Amino acid sequence: MNGNFFSRIGMADMEKVHSAVIGWIFSDKCEAFDNEKKSRLLCSLFGVTSLDTFKSFSVQTELHNIDILLLTGKHENSLTDAWVIENKIKSSQHSKQLDKYTKIMKSEYIKIEKKQEPDYTYKKLNHHFCYLTLIGEQPQCKETDWASCSYKKLAKLLKDEIKTSNSSKNDVIIIQEYIACIENLTKALETFLKSPKDFSFVFTNGSHKKKTKKEIEEIVDNTTQKFKECARYIAENGLETIFQKQFLYDFLKNIDIFKDINFTVAESHGTALVDFEPQKINELSFGIQFQNGTFKIQVLDNGNKHKDFWDKWNSELNDLRMNDLKDWNFNPPKESQRKENVNHYFSFSKKRITKYWEVSPGEWKHLFCDCEKGIEIIKKHTPSF
């Protein structure tokens, strides 16, 4: 990896620092780009077709928990558009996180330190939303459409604009260093994806904990000479989890059986997981989850069925455990889920793969079909209430 200022200060994976740099680039304080370039860059990032040059730019980071909020105006001292960027390097979007930000922008007022300020609203502005991630992850939002943008695209856009910058300010150098930082990130990801079997530590060391120098050296020592530099970069910046996620997404989308099945790739405790879209029958959801070689058949009660339903079904499940699904581990509802008005949940799980990154598409397809057969068996034993 090429050495550059941002990598040397250890900010390659620091989302807040990336947000601060991106915010600065669009602010009045950055003199590398004039308003025309900033306007073109902003519209390209969000996928907006516009020939307008904004005359005013206002930037806030970490306001209302929004990573980057840009307000622009087509005239001096006026605001016409609001641009929201949710920035992710290693983490994933939280439940309904993007919906929350959408509602903020459309609210009549916004609460600031528990006070209601009726005049403080973005509702009358034109709204634009962008989900910026290292891997081009798709945004999950029911309220409105969010544009998806990768850091690779951001680097290209910055590179195209900086080539024709007439500024002689140090700001140009800072942006060039930032581009190099992003290119290191994307180059490491591309190298890993071309040969994941040579980076087995990515799948086994996906912890959020900072690695010691000794641990990093052990990883490098156990990596093929050709990939040592890349392995060091991944380990030093703690990129294992996000790389796991990208591997699973790329691998699964190219298997024919999953082209018609919606799935999301998330993570838990530093290990990537895949949730396949559940089948919904009446008030029950039957889903499949995969994590670290284990497949799990999940059943969730979305309607708070009566306790008698679950008491009756429990005997059926015990029978399944001893017969049709005897090779699966049964995970019954926890005691806290047995209370009234609490959604019941149980699952059957089975460890099927040790090194899932070495499994062929054909075997993946077979294992998934086995889970689907398990769901059909469970459905046949569902009590009718």
DSSP state string for 88-105? ESSS-PPTTHHHHHHHHH
Q: Which residue has the tokens 């009590």?
A: 383
pLDDT band at residue 116 using 50, 70 and 90 as cut-offs = very low
Q: CA–CA separation, 71 vs 78, rounded Å?
A: 10
The pLDDT value recorded for residue 94 is: 65
* pLDDT per position as a tens digit, 13-22: 578 889 999 9
Per-residue model confidence as pLDDT tens digits over 230-246? 999 999 888 899 899 99
> Over 60: is that where the pLDDT of 256 sits?
yes
- Better-scored residue on pLDDT, 337 or 12: 12
Q: So what's the pLDDT on residue 359?
A: 92
pLDDT at 166 over 70: yes
Strand order in the sheet with 294-301: 263-268, 271-281, 284-291, 294-301, 345-351, 329-331
Higher pLDDT, 71 or 122: 71
Mean pLDDT on 123-148 = 86
Split at pLDDT 50, 70, 90, the class of 325 is confident
Per-residue pLDDT band for 342 (boundaries 50, 70, 90) equals low
pLDDT at site 364: 92
Lowest pLDDT segment from 124-138, 172-186, 307-321: 307-321
Return the bridge partners of 295, or none.
Answer: 290, 350
pLDDT at residue 260 above 80?
yes
pLDDT tier at 199 (50, 70, 90 boundaries)? Answer: very high
Three-state secondary structure call for residue 133: strand
Task: Spell out a b/e string for 230-247, using b for 16 or more CB atoms within 10 Å of the CB, else e.
Answer: bbbbbbbbbbbbbbbbbb
**Rounded to a whole number, what is the largest CA-CA distance in the chain?**
77
CA distance 263 to 277: 6
* Distance (Å, whole) CA 123 – CA 105: 6
- Identify the pLDDT of residue 64: 84
Which among 285, 313, 273, 288 has a CA at the least distance from the CA of 370?
288
120 confidence band (pLDDT: 50, 70, 90): low
Q: Is 331:316 a contact under the CB 8 Å cutoff?
A: no
Q: Tokens 């609460």 identify what position? A: 111
Q: Are strands 345-351 and 294-301 parallel, antiparallel or unpaired?
A: antiparallel
* Residue 131 in this model has a pLDDT that exceeds 50: yes
Three-state SS annotation for 220-267: HHCCCHHHHHHHHHHHHHCCHHHHHHHHHHHHHHCCHHHCCCCEEEEE
Q: What is the pTM of this model?
A: 0.83
Give the DSSP letter string of 363-379: HHHHHHHHHHHHHHHHH
Q: What would the two tokens of residue 309 be?
A: 């339903």
CB 24 within 8 A of CB 32: no
Mean pLDDT of 105-114: 62
Question: Quick one: pLDDT band at residue 48, thresholds 50, 70, 90?
Answer: very high
Beta-sheet pairing, 110-112 with 56-63: unpaired
Give pLDDT tens digits for 141-161: 777 789 999 999 999 999 999
Residue 335 has pLDDT above 80, yes or no: no
What lies within 8 Å, CB to CB, of 327 at 6+ separation is 350
Domains parsed from the chain with CATH numbers? 5-172 (no CATH), 195-242 (no CATH), 254-380 (3.30.1460)
Mean pLDDT of 75-101: 83
**Sorting pLDDT into bands at 50, 70 and 90, what band is 247?**
very high
What pLDDT is stored for residue 382 in this prediction? Answer: 78
Residue 163 has pLDDT above 70, yes or no: yes
Pick the residue with more confidence: 70 or 317? 70
Determine how β-strand 147-150 pairs with β-strand 126-133. parallel
The chain-wide mean pLDDT, for the chain, equals 85
Sign of the Cα pseudo-torsion (374, 282, 257, 137, in order): negative
Please state, in angstroms and rounded to a whole number, the distance separating the CA atoms of residues 127 and 103.
11
Task: Please give the residue that has the higher pLDDT: either 224 or 134.
Answer: 224
Predicted local confidence at residue 304, as pLDDT = 64
pLDDT at 118: 44
